[in-house]
Amino acid sequence: MSETSRERFQSTLCRARKIAVLTGAGVSAESGIPTFRGAGGLWRRYEATSLASPEAWQRDPGLVWEFYNHRRERALGCAPNPGHHALAQLEAWWREAGRVFTLITQNIDGLHEQAGSRSPVRLHGSLWQVRCLSCESVTENRDVPITPAFAGSGSPDPEAPARRFTAAELPRCRCGGVLRPHVVWFGEALQESDLAAAAAGVEGCDLLLVVGTSAVVYPAAGFVPMAKRHGALIAEVNVEPSAISGLCDVVFTGGSGAILPSLLDVTPARAP
């Protein structure tokens, strides 16, 4: 009787000494955070990806802050879902067993951390950090609105009146410099340290679990073929096929919040 995908996945998982997980917006969808390519990928008439760029910042930093302020406001109202919690639990089991677990996320919402994941590799930064354009200091910032001028702004309604925010209304650093969201915009390089931490977590892993990503954004999506090259079992959880489904050994179709709790309910097998 052939082994089911679930049996194959769980038998590999419980023996795995080193596992890596790559997540995207889909893992937060059941928490109420819209994905980029889903219906929520549009903010007013803007593609989320078009506002997440240095060009958009050059054109109108106030509009970009209105967009990120709106995402901070929304993320504040969202909580981790059972998918986030299942990943945090798996990490705890693996660390307790002295094994290697690396969570690599493209998400900037902070829900993995809220669920108890310890130091996920945040490839694309965080909604809750800001960076000064003058002194380059990076600080935690949970002010919502980001400055009083942004109160009540940010409606995703395409008919919402466009407001121009003055330079004085933008968030400022202690040095007086303008603060920008500490996230990686399209066309910007990822932090070398994050790339290195992710590569170290994927290199030689026995299993790579890919959850809720369309896998079209690079270099993040590049970690899947990297794991495949050295023979790791590649598993995917998604509501629909993604750009890397063809590379997967096992695919579980459905919401990660519904699938992960039972799929990951596996404790590390005692060494024989």
209-228: contacts with ligand BV8 (CB under 6 A):
212-214, 216-218, 220
90-118 per-residue burial string, b: 16 or more CB within 10 A, e: under 16: bbebbeeeeebbbbbbbbbbbbbbbbebe
Secondary structure class of 15 (helix, strand, coil): helix
For strands 207-211 and 179-183, give the pairing: unpaired
Q: Which does 132 bind (CB under 5 to 8 A by kind): ligand BV8, Zn ion, none?
A: Zn ion
Secondary structure class of 236 (helix, strand, coil): strand
Handedness of CA 191, 196, 197, 202 (dihedral sign): positive
**Which of 5-13, 89-97, 132-140, 183-191 is the region at the interface with ligand BV8 (rule: CB under 6 A)?**
183-191
CA 185 from chain centre, in angstroms, equals: 14
Residue among 181, 180, 73 nearest 124 (CA): 181
- From candidates 100, 239, 247, 266, binder to ligand BV8 by CB under 6 A: 239
Residue among 204, 222, 235, 205 nearest 123 (CA): 222
Q: Which residues pair with 23 in a beta bridge?
A: 105, 211
Catalytic residue of the set 70, 84, 112, 124 = 124
Phi-psi region of 145 (alpha: psi -120 to 50; beta: other; left: phi over 0): beta
- From candidates 14, 135, 138, 269, binder to Zn ion by CB under 5 A: 135
Determine, following the binding rule CB under 6 A, whether residue 145 of this chain makes contact with ligand BV8.
no
CA 80 from chain centre, in angstroms, equals: 12
Q: Which residues pair with 181 in a beta bridge?
A: 130
Would you give the binding string for ligand BV8 spanning residues 79-108, x where CB under 6 A is met?
Answer: ---------------------------x-x
Q: Which does 135 bind (CB under 5 to 8 A by kind): Zn ion, ligand BV8, none?
A: Zn ion
**Lookup: tokens for 242:** 């993604």
Q: Are 4 and 249 in contact (CB under 8 A)?
A: no
Determine, following the binding rule CB under 5 A, whether residue 134 of this chain makes contact with Zn ion.
yes
Nearest distance from residue 184's CB to ligand BV8, in Å? 5
- From candidates 13, 19, 33, 36, binder to ligand BV8 by CB under 6 A: 36
46-85: contacts with Zn ion (CB under 5 A):
none
Nearest distance from residue 242's CB to Zn ion, in Å? 39
Nearest distance from residue 271's CB to ligand BV8, in Å? 33
Residue 124 is among the residues annotated as catalytic for this protein: yes
Determine, following the binding rule CB under 5 A, whether residue 132 of this chain makes contact with Zn ion.
yes
170-209: contacts with Zn ion (CB under 5 A):
173, 175, 177
**Type of residue at 227:** A
Q: Which residues pair with 18 in a beta bridge?
A: 100
Would you give the binding string for ligand BV8 spanning residues 242-271, x where CB under 6 A is met?
Answer: x------------xx---------------
- Give me the active site residues, please: 124
Point out which residues bind Zn ion (CB under 5 A). Answer: 132, 134-135, 173, 175, 177
Point out which residues bind ligand BV8 (CB under 6 A). Answer: 24-26, 29-30, 35-38, 41, 52, 106, 108, 124, 183-189, 212-214, 216-218, 220, 237-240, 242, 255-256
